């Protein structure tokens, strides 16, 4: 029998389709930006600009450390300052233009390599990372203020995942295509126009999200965050379910970045048909889009964690098939990429909602709400995972013995195929195993929210 507390759960109103679409629009732009980093930036640095792979990997990894500092700084600010727009929305308005400008500058190649030009590369990369942190973390945290219902959060997550896959599809078809067409054979010019055009798209998408989303403070989001950083971090570290989600998320984003960075190298050197790389990116995006209805159904039938683990299993199978299928016709190779995109979509639609549920769980266990810091940690695990994946990719390129734009031996090709397939496979497996320890399903979350509401009602002045 359900407890009286569960009967008294104050549900927030259902979020309208229009708000879900508007909120998710930023995810469309941020995914274009993320794909620009994970799929294209390492190639741009090494093959187009001519930067040493180790230095390029260091820039990517160092940028992530700056990003991480930015995540916690914006969390600290959002916990202390709030205006009529809320705690998180103002950052979306503030960052629209800077994010677009720095993204465009990322892909403007120096005319020559020198200490000054390398310093410029580092400065622009760091500026972009700060802007991205001040945009992505507040946007991700908004989901916990839009609804206190686990299933409604999952529904919002499915809209975000759809937007993310649409962003991947746009980056794959129009992004790589823009580099080829607008560059007219000159990759430097092509990348420059890619940055300018898609920087503008990113800025507009974030602005739309800021204009259409509203913050609610009810039910599971009714209590303000702990303002002390030490208190919040301590509560977060003691929240075992949050730690499981963050660890699994870190491993997943290593897979996400290393598999994305490997696409161009796989088709340029292993398949020797670089023009088909955009078809692989397109296949991943289509897999993500078409897989969403299945993942949404599975989430409602089982749990978000089960859906995540299943997506990791699909990704492992796809990467293994890709490694074993090297040398097969291009059409055959697109099948594993389609499955890989479908597998990734399972995680992309659940990880924001999972951390929101873990925030409520942590408050229920400790009495301390660490909402903004939890989403900062989530963003940090995203970026650290992506940077680790990019750095691992750079290291594995060097391990394979790859010399950019030079003839490659069969041994180098075999090593390269191993690097771009088996590295992400390992971390997808680890992510799936770890998330299986997450124990908060929709029913348990409802009881947690009910108990929090009862406790708050008892604390409220009469």
Task: Give dist(CA 205, CA 96) in Å, integer.
Answer: 9
How many structural domains does the chain have?
1
115-146 and 150-170 helices cross at what angle (nearest 10)? 150
| Span of 3-7, 44-48, 248-252, 255-259 with lowest mean pLDDT | 3-7
In a domain, 12, yes or no: no
In a domain, 460, yes or no: no
CA angle 381, 264, 250 (to 5 degrees): 10
Q: Which of 384, 414, 402 is nearest to 53 (CA)?
A: 402
In a domain, 459, yes or no: no
In a domain, 395, yes or no: yes
Residue 164 lies in domain = 17-216+226-450
Q: What's the pLDDT score for residue 314?
A: 97
In a domain, 455, yes or no: no
Contact indicator for 392, 404 with CB cutoff of 8 Å: no
Task: Give dist(CA 369, CA 328) in Å, integer.
Answer: 52
Q: What is the pLDDT of residues 397-408, one digit of tens each?
A: 888 888 777 777
In a domain, 462, yes or no: no
Per the structure block, which two tokens stand in for 172?
């794959």
Q: What's the pLDDT score for residue 13?
A: 60
Task: Give dist(CA 208, CA 28) in Å, integer.
Answer: 11
Q: What's the pLDDT score for residue 329?
A: 87
In a domain, 191, yes or no: yes
Per the structure block, which two tokens stand in for 414?
């075999």
Q: What is the pLDDT of residues 92-127, one digit of tens each?
A: 999 999 999 999 999 988 878 888 889 999 999 999
User: What is the mean predicted confidence (pLDDT) over 367-393?
Assistant: 83
- In terms of C-beta density within 10 A (0-12 exposed, 13-18 middle, 19 or more buried), how is residue 119 classed? exposed
Residue 11 scores a pLDDT above 80: no
Task: Give dist(CA 439, CA 361) in Å, integer.
Answer: 10
Q: Any idea which residue has 């730690």 for tokens?
A: 243
Residue 225 scores a pLDDT above 70: no
Could you tell me the end-to-end alpha-carbon distance of the chain, in angstroms, rounded to an integer? 30
Per the structure block, which two tokens stand in for 409?
């031996």
Residue 152 scores a pLDDT above 90: no
Q: If DSSP states are collapsed to H, E and C, what string results for the chain?
A: CCCHHHHCCCCCCCCCHHHHHHHHHHHHHHHHHHHHHHHHHHHHHHHHHCCCHHHHHHHHHHHHHHHHHHHHHHHHHHHHCCECCECCHHHHHHHHHHHHHHHHHHCCCCCCCCHHHHHHHHHHHHHHHHHHHHHHHHHHHHHHHHCCCHHHHHHHHHHHHHHHHHHHHHHHHHHHHHHHHHHCCCHHHHHHHHHHHHHHHHHHHHHHHHHHCCCCCCHHHCCCCCCCHHHHHHHHHHCHHHHHHHHHHHHHHHHHHHHHHHHHHHHHHHCCCHHHHHHHHHHHHHHHHHHHHHHHHHHHHCCHHHHHHHHHHHHHHHHHHHHHCCCCCHHHHHHHHHHHHHHHHHHHCCHHHHHHHHHHHHHHHHCCCCHHHHHHHHHHHHHHHHHHHHHHHHHHHHHHCCCCCCCCCHHHHHHHHHHHHHHHHHHHHHHHHHHCCCCCCHHHHHHHHHHHHHHHHHHCCC
Per the structure block, which two tokens stand in for 214?
């509203």
Q: What's the pLDDT score for residue 367?
A: 85
Q: Any idea which residue has 């683990």 for tokens?
A: 309
Residue 200 scores a pLDDT above 90: yes
Q: What is the pLDDT of residues 48-85, one digit of tens each?
A: 888 888 888 888 888 878 887 888 888 888 877 777 78
Q: Any idea which residue has 């998320």 for tokens?
A: 249
Residue 174 scores a pLDDT above 60: yes
In a domain, 461, yes or no: no
Count the residues in the chain.
462
Contact indicator for 346, 455 with CB cutoff of 8 Å: no
Task: Give dist(CA 318, CA 325) in Å, integer.
Answer: 10
**CATH number of the domain that residue 90 is part of:** 1.20.1250.20
Task: Give dist(CA 69, CA 107) in Å, integer.
Answer: 24
Q: What is the pLDDT of residues 326-350, one digit of tens each?
A: 878 888 999 999 999 999 999 988 9
Contact indicator for 226, 79 with CB cutoff of 8 Å: yes
Task: Give dist(CA 62, CA 366) in Å, integer.
Answer: 34
- In terms of C-beta density within 10 A (0-12 exposed, 13-18 middle, 19 or more buried), how is residue 253 classed? buried
Q: Which of 48, 37, 19, 43 is nearest to 160 (CA)?
A: 19
């Amino acid at each position: 029998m359900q407890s009286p507390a569960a009967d008294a759960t104050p549900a927030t109103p259902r979020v309208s389709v229009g708000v879900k679409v508007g909120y998710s629009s930023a995810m469309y732009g941020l995914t274009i930006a993320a794909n620009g980093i994970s799929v294209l930036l390492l190639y741009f640095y090494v093959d187009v600009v001519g930067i040493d792979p180790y230095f390029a990997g260091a820039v990517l990894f160092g940028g992530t450390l700056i990003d991480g500092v930015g995540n916690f700084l914006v969390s600290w600010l959002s916990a202390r300052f709030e205006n009529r727009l809320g705690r998180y929305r103002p950052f979306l308005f503030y960052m629209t233009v800077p994010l677009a400008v720095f993204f465009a500058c990322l892909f403007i190649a120096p005319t020559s390599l020198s200490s000054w030009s390398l310093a410029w590369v580092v400065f622009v990369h760091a500026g972009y990372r700060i802007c991205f942190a001040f945009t992505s973390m507040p946007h991700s945290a908004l989901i916990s203020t839009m609804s206190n219902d686990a299933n409604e959060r999952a529904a919002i997550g499915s809209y975000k995942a759809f937007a993310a896959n649409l962003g991947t599809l746009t980056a794959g078809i129009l992004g790589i295509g823009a580099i080829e067409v607008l560059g007219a054979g000159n990759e430097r010019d092509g990348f420059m126009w890619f940055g300018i055009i898609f920087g503008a798209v990113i800025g507009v998408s974030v602005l739309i999200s800021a204009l259409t989303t509203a913050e609610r403070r009810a039910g599971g989001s009714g209590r303000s965050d702990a303002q002390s950083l030490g208190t919040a971090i301590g509560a977060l570290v003691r929240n075992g379910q949050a730690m499981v989600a963050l660890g699994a998320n870190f491993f997943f984003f290593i897979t996400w970045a290393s598999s994305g960075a490997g696409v161009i190298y796989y088709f340029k050197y292993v398949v020797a048909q670089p023009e088909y790389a955009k078809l692989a990116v397109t296949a991943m995006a289509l897999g993500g889009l078409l897989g969403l209805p299945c993942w949404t159904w599975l989430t409602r039938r089982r749990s978000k964690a089960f859906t995540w683990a299943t997506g990791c299993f699909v990704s492992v199978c796809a990467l293994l098939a890709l490694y074993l299928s090297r040398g097969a016709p291009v059409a055959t190779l697109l099948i594993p990429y389609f499955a890989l995109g479908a597998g990734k979509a399972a995680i992309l639609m659940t990880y924001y909602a999972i951390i929101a549920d873990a925030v409520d769980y942590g408050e229920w266990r400790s009495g301390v709400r660490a909402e903004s810091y939890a989403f900062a940690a989530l963003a940090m695990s995203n970026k650290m995972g992506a940077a680790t994946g990019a750095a691992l990719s750079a290291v594995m390129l060097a391990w394979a013995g790859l010399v950019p734009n030079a003839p490659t031996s069969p041994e180098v090709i075999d090593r390269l195929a191993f690097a771009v397939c088996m590295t992400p496979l390992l971390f997808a497996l680890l992510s799936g195993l770890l998330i299986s320890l997450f124990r908060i399903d929709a029913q348990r979350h409802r009881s947690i929210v009910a108990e929090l509401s009862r406790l708050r009602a008892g604390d409220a002045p009469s």
